[in-house]
Amino acid sequence: MATKELTNGQPLKLILEFMFPIFIGNLFQQLYNFADAVIVGRYVGIKALAAVGTTAPLLFFIISFIFASTQGFTVVLAQRFGAKDYDMVRKSLTTSVYLSGGLMIFMTILSTPFTYQMLSFLRTPTDIIDMANTYLFIMCAGIFATVFYNLSSNVIRALGDSKTPLYFLIFSSLLNIVLAVLFVTKFKCGVAGAGFATVTAQFFATLLCVGFMFWKFPILHLKKSDWKSDRDFMLEHLRIGIPMGFQMSILTLGILALQYVLNGLGSIAVAAYTTAMRVDQIFSQVFLALGATMATYTAQNFGANKIARIKQGAKSALGIVLSVTAFAIIVLTFFSQDLIKMFMSEPNEEVIRLGVIYLHIIMVFFVFLGLLLLYRNVLQGMGQVVVPLMSGTTELIMRTVFAFVFGIKYGFVGICFATPAAWIGATIVLFGGYKVNLIRILKNRRKIS
C-alpha cells in the first residue's frame, strides 16, 4: 500500500478521508473495554462491572505516558516524511522502537507488582477490590501488546495511511468479543477472563500490524545502518515525545483524583459512572480520530513548510467539531436510558438514573473536548510541547478542584461537572497557544524571506 501525502489537495476532503478509518478503528478499539463491560455486567453482575470500571483511570495512568510519548516520536517521523527525507524516516522508526521498548519495560515493572496497593490508595470499595485487582494485574502484564500496536499504527498513519491498522483492529476486536464470551460464560473465569481476552486480542493485532507495516511500505525496509543509534536524533524524539507523555500523566492524575472521590460514593455510583462513561466514549472517539488526523496533517504540512494549509485544516476541523457535538446532543437527549440498559441483564434503576444524569450533563460540553483535541494535536504536530503541557496542568487543577470541592459537596452530580470544567480550562490555554505560535511562525518566515 502506498503512502499518502496530506500536503496537497482540499484540506476538508483530506481530513475526512483520513479521519474516517481512524474513527472506525477507535470504535473497534473501544469494543475491547465495551465488550468487557457488557459481558461482565450481564454474566457476572453489577459489582463485577464496577470492578472493571474502577480500574480504567489506573490503566489510563499507567499506559498513557507510553502511548502519548509514542505518538510524539511518530510526529518526528511524519515531519521527515513531509520533507521527503526517507532515510531519516527509517531512522526515526528504529529510534521509536528503542525508546518505546525502554518505556514499556520500565512501566511494566513499575506497575504490575503494585496493583492492589494502587486500588487501595484510591479507596476502591472493599466489595469489588479483589475482582478489580485481578483484572488490573492482567492488563498491566499485557501492556507490551498495547504499546507496540499503537506504535506501529501511529507509524503507518504518519505515512498517510489510516486504513491498514483498521482492518487488523476489526479482526482483533471481534476476536476479543469471542474470547471474552468464551472465558467468562463457558469457562467461568469472571473478570480474569475478560482481561485475558483483551490482552490476547491486542497481541494478535500487534503481530498483524507490525508484519504488514514492513511488507506494505517499501520506504520502511530497514538496513543495518538504520539500527545504529544517533544521540542527537534520539534527543529530538525525546524532546517531543517525553513532554507529551508527561502532559498525559499530569492529565491522568486529575482523573485519578476524580476516581478517588467517586469510589467514596460506593459501588453503585461507580457502576453508574462506568456505564455512562462507556457510552460517552463512543461519541468522543470522533474527536480522538480528528485529533490524530490533525497531528499527522499538521506534521506533514509543517515539514513541507505549508503553514497556510495548517490554518485551513484547523478551520475545517472546527466545523466537524460543531457538527458532531450537535449530533451527540440529539442522540443522548432521547436514547441515554436505552444505551445504559445495554450493560445490564437486570436493569438497576439507580444505576440508570445516575448514568442518565452524567450523560445529559457531559453532552453539553462535548464541543470543548473537540476543540481541546483539535488545538492540542495541531500544536504537537508543529513540534510544540510547552503549551500542551500547560493545558494538561490546567486540566489536572480544574478536574481535581471540581472533584473534591463539588464532588464532596454535591455528590455524584458534582463529580459529573469535573471533567467539563477541565475541558474548558485546557481549551482556553490551547487556543491562546495556537494563535500565538502561528503568529510567531509566520513572523519568522517573513524575516527569512
The answer to whether the CB of 195 falls within 8 A of the CB of 55 is: no
With residue 346 as reference, give the H or E element that holds it.
Answer: none
DSSP 190: T
Q: How far is CA 242 from CA 65, 150, 354, in A?
A: 8, 16, 38
DSSP code at position 83:
T
Looking at residue 24, its pLDDT comes to 83
Inter-residue contact 90 to 233 (CB < 8 Å): no
> What's the pLDDT score for residue 152?
86
- Residue 447: the pLDDT is 59
Cα–Cα separations (whole angstroms), residue 438 to 299, 379, 428: 14, 9, 16
Q: What is the pLDDT of residue 222?
A: 86
Cell 480528528 sits on residue: 290
How far is residue 69's CA from residue 241's CA, in Å, rounded to a whole number? 4
Q: What DSSP letter does each residue of 235-273 carry, written as one string?
A: HHHHHHHHHHHHHHHHHHHHHHHHHHHHHTT-HHHHHHH
Q: Are 49 and 41 in contact (CB under 8 A)?
A: yes
Extract the residue ranges of the chain whose pLDDT is less than 70: 1-4, 29-34, 345, 442-443, 445-449
Q: At what angle do helices 267-303 and 46-54 cross, to 10 degrees?
A: 40
Q: Given this model, what pLDDT does residue 3 score?
A: 58
Indicate the angle between helix axes 267-303 and 231-263, nearest 10 degrees: 160
Neighbouring residues of 209: CB distance < 8 A, sequence distance ≥ 6: 149, 152, 153, 156, 164, 165, 168
Q: How far apart are CA 232 and CA 289, in angstroms?
A: 31
pLDDT at 1: 42
**How far is C-alpha 197 from the geometric centre of its chain's CA atoms?**
20
The whole-number pLDDT of residue 155 equals 85
- pLDDT for the residue 42: 76
Which pLDDT tens digit goes with each residue over 112-168?
Answer: 999 999 999 888 888 889 999 999 999 999 988 888 888 888 888 777 777 777 788
185-221 exposure pattern, b = at least 16 Cβ within 10 A, e = fewer: eeeebbbbbbbbbbbbbbbbbbbbbbebbeeebeebe
